[in-house]
């Protein structure tokens, strides 16, 4: 995916000089004549929307590529932390897609203390809560991360309920992999835990035992079947 974004960015940038060259070469006539100058100016004016659109498209693709790379770094970093922390009592599932076209859940952790969905963010800065939404350095994020995390947990809850007839409370978690400047502890915000990655172990172990070994195995089997399907 990263390569696709870079390729699209390159193509968009290439359109700018290509359009200019094509415009100049397509105009024939004596360069000294006023008609040539007028034609060139008119051509440039007509081509300007294409040039602007190409440049904006390039910037957009480049931004998406950087965001995608940053997100991958955050997920890889969190995966390494999970592997380091969790023992054999817990299972980790990455990139779970419960419903097609509704995005993925970065990580699902299943263990004796419950089922957790982890939405990983790689934003830096001071993470705070204004009473309604999360903020970074005093400014709102581009989307409601708390709503996103809760939706993912509810989607997984519904899947477990439908497949296994189990009413399991799935615990939504937002993990900021690249920031330690947040001080919520283990107090949920709008029923969502918001932590840095070095609080993962504390979170899992602070919760009461809520899953039997049998139910844990059944939930893990459902998640494994999703990965096998994809």
3-state secondary structure of 10: helix
Place of tokens 């963010």: 121
70 contacts: CB under 8 Å, gap ≥ 6: 122
88 contacts: CB under 8 Å, gap ≥ 6: none
Beta strands in the chain (DSSP E): 91-96, 105-111, 114-121, 127-129, 134-136, 139-140, 170-176, 193-196
pTM over 0.75: no
Q: 94-143, pLDDT tens digit by residue? A: 999 988 767 889 999 999 999 999 999 988 899 999 999 999 999 999 89
Report d(CA 101, CA 98) in Å as an integer: 9
pLDDT at 2: 46
């Amino acid at each position: 995916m990263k390569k696709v974004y870079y390729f699209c960015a390159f193509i968009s940038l290439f359109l700018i000089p290509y359009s200019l060259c094509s415009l100049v070469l397509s105009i024939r006539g004596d360069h000294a004549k006023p008609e040539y100058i007028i034609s060139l100016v008119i051509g440039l004016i007509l081509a300007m929307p294409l040039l602007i659109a190409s440049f904006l498209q390039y910037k957009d693709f480049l931004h998406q590529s950087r965001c995608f790379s940053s997100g991958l770094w955050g997920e890889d970093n969190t995966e390494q932390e999970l592997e380091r922390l969790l023992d054999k009592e817990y299972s980790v599932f990455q990139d779970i897609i419960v419903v097609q076209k509704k995005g993925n859940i970065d990580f699902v952790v299943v263990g004796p203390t419950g089922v957790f969905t982890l939405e990983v963010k790689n934003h830096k800065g001071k993470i705070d809560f204004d009473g309604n939404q999360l903020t970074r350095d005093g400014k709102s994020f581009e989307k409601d991360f708390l709503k996103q995390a809760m939706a993912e947990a509810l989607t997984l809850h519904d899947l477990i309920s439908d497949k296994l007839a189990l009413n399991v409370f799935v615990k939504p978690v937002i993990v900021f992999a690249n920031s330690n400047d947040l001080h919520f502890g283990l107090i949920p915000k709008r029923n969502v835990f918001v932590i840095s990655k070095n609080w993962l172990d504390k979170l899992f172990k602070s919760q009461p035992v809520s899953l039997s070994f049998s139910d844990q195995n059944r939930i893990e089997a459902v998640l494994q079947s999703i990965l096998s399907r994809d």
